[in-house]
Amino acid sequence: MSRLSQSPRRGGFGLRARLTVLATGLVALVSLVLLWLGWMLAGNVMQAVPRLPDGEVVQVDGYDVTADQLAAALAGHARTEVLRDGGVAVGLVVIAAALLAWTLTGRLLRPLHEVTATARTLSASSLGERIRLDGPRDEVAELADTFDAMLDRLQATFDSQQRFVANASHELRTPLSVIRTELDVTLSDPQANAAELRRMAEVVRGASDRSEQLVEALLLLARTDGTGIAVHEPVDMAVLVASAWRAVQDMAAERELEVVFDTPPASTVGDPSLLERVAGNLLENAIRHNMDQGWIRVRLVSDEHWTELRVASSGPPIAAEEITALFEPFRRAGVARTARGGAGLGLSIVRAIVQAHGGEVSGIPVEGGGLEVFARLPAAP
């Protein structure tokens, strides 16, 4: 059983009781030390009384005491009084300290109980609850604010996960529905010939290819989204861009796109296969969401701190406020889950890979229509 799923511990002293016992014990210890000092001081003072002539007899507390015993008798009497009255005072002080400590620790620990109660009531449907502790800005308030900030991050992550699962389910359902429909229609026709069966097979194969590509993209996104990378080696982004271009140049030729490269050597450190996917996804995105006979500009810019891959392309106009959403899973310019092919995971995969390498991704609209994406990566030492 994980620690998060364990029930609260029962038995033993709670923090409030332990703090009360500690405070009461310290007060009792200090009081006893003061009582002992008073006992010693009273005896020493009585020992210093003037000495009477020998043979004289005086009464102390109803008893006859000779002159040579007077100092000792007075010291004993004073110490007895100190112990009796001081003991009562110490008892009252300890009781008052216990009550005061119990009350104050209860008030001081109340925010912690609120944090605990909120944590116990949290579920997928109640992540919107917050403590929002009022009062002085002390350590307890800082803890409550930190807990609220953690809940904000958890809620954002959970909402993103819910959207991701819903969109992934939609994307996977579409090719499966196509496969099922084609099989049902063809198999229900007893007159289906070889040509119709071949056409059905081609449709089913295309749908299965799309499902395979989507699953591979989802696995890659899960592999790189916030988990870091295992391979760290110097790579030349210019070489990776050239390799990625060879895989998509036929697509660009079909749409008669004008492509211009300005890619001098630019080094970074990371996983070559993942970084090549960054270049490939940016190029493929620029081709898919372009217009026939449009253009693409690919540049590499580097300095001693950063290596930046810039891919700009023509295309439909994009509002600046829509660009951030394009890096979310299953988002495409203009609408969600619709496009000229693809699963809508290209830019989200780019963002996940770049962030796993310690970089950042951004985009700006191109004047006249289109998009320019900047993938900034730490430069190699």
Last residue of a domain, one of 224, 247, 277: 224
Give 70's pLDDT tier (boundaries 50, 70, 90).
low
User: Are 113 and 178 found together in one domain?
Assistant: no
For residue range 17-45, list pLDDT tens digits in order: 888 888 889 988 988 888 888 878 776 66
User: Are 202 and 277 found together in one domain?
Assistant: no
For residue 309, give the nearest of 359, 258, 376 by alpha carbon: 376
Question: How far apart are alpha carbons 293 and 370 in whole angstroms?
Answer: 13
- Answer yes or no: is 359 within a domain: yes
Please compute, for residue 84, the number of CA atoms within 13 A of its CA located in the half-sphere on the CB side: 6
Q: At 163, which CATH number? A: 1.10.287.130
Give 8's pLDDT tier (boundaries 50, 70, 90).
very low
pLDDT score of 10? 47
Of residues 32 and 121, which shows the higher confidence score?
32
Question: How far apart are alpha carbons 195 and 199 in whole angstroms?
Answer: 6
User: Are 44 and 175 found together in one domain?
Assistant: no
Query: What separation in angstroms does the CA of 129 have from each of 71, 156, 159?
Result: 74, 13, 15
Q: At 325, which CATH number? A: 3.30.565.10
pLDDT at 238 over 80: yes
User: Are 154 and 291 found together in one domain?
Assistant: no
Last residue of a domain, one of 67, 91, 121: 121
Q: 74: which residues sit within 8 A by CB, 6+ positions away?
A: 46, 49, 60
Question: How far apart are alpha carbons 144 and 125 in whole angstroms?
Answer: 21
User: Are 22 and 98 found together in one domain?
Assistant: yes
pLDDT score of 237? 94
pLDDT at 308 over 80: yes
For residue 298, give the nearest of 262, 266, 264, 347 by alpha carbon: 262
- Answer yes or no: is 247 within a domain: yes
Last residue of a domain, one of 181, 197, 224: 224
For residue range 203-222, list pLDDT tens digits in order: 888 878 777 766 776 676 66
pLDDT at 371 over 90: yes
User: Are 238 and 369 found together in one domain?
Assistant: yes
pLDDT at 366 over 70: yes
pLDDT at 158 over 50: yes
Q: Domain total for the chain?
A: 3
User: Are 117 and 10 found together in one domain?
Assistant: yes
User: Are 219 and 239 found together in one domain?
Assistant: no
Give 337's pLDDT tier (boundaries 50, 70, 90).
very low
**Structural domain of 94:** 3-121
Average pLDDT, the chain: 78
User: Are 95 and 155 found together in one domain?
Assistant: no
User: Are 238 and 361 found together in one domain?
Assistant: yes
- Answer yes or no: is 109 within a domain: yes
Reading the block at residue 356, the tokens are: 């796993």
- Answer yes or no: is 17 within a domain: yes
Tell me how crowded residue 215 is: count the other CB atoms within 10 A of its CB.
14
- Answer yes or no: is 133 within a domain: no
Reading the block at residue 351, the tokens are: 């963002």
Query: For the chain, what percent of residues have pLDDT higher than 70?
Result: 74
- Answer yes or no: is 138 within a domain: no
User: Are 297 and 374 found together in one domain?
Assistant: yes
pLDDT at 144 over 60: yes
- Answer yes or no: is 137 within a domain: no
- Answer yes or no: is 126 within a domain: no
DSSP 373: E
DSSP reduced 3-state for 108: helix
Mean pLDDT to the nearest integer, 93-117: 83
For residue 272, give the nearest of 380, 363, 372, 361 by alpha carbon: 380
User: Are 94 and 19 found together in one domain?
Assistant: yes
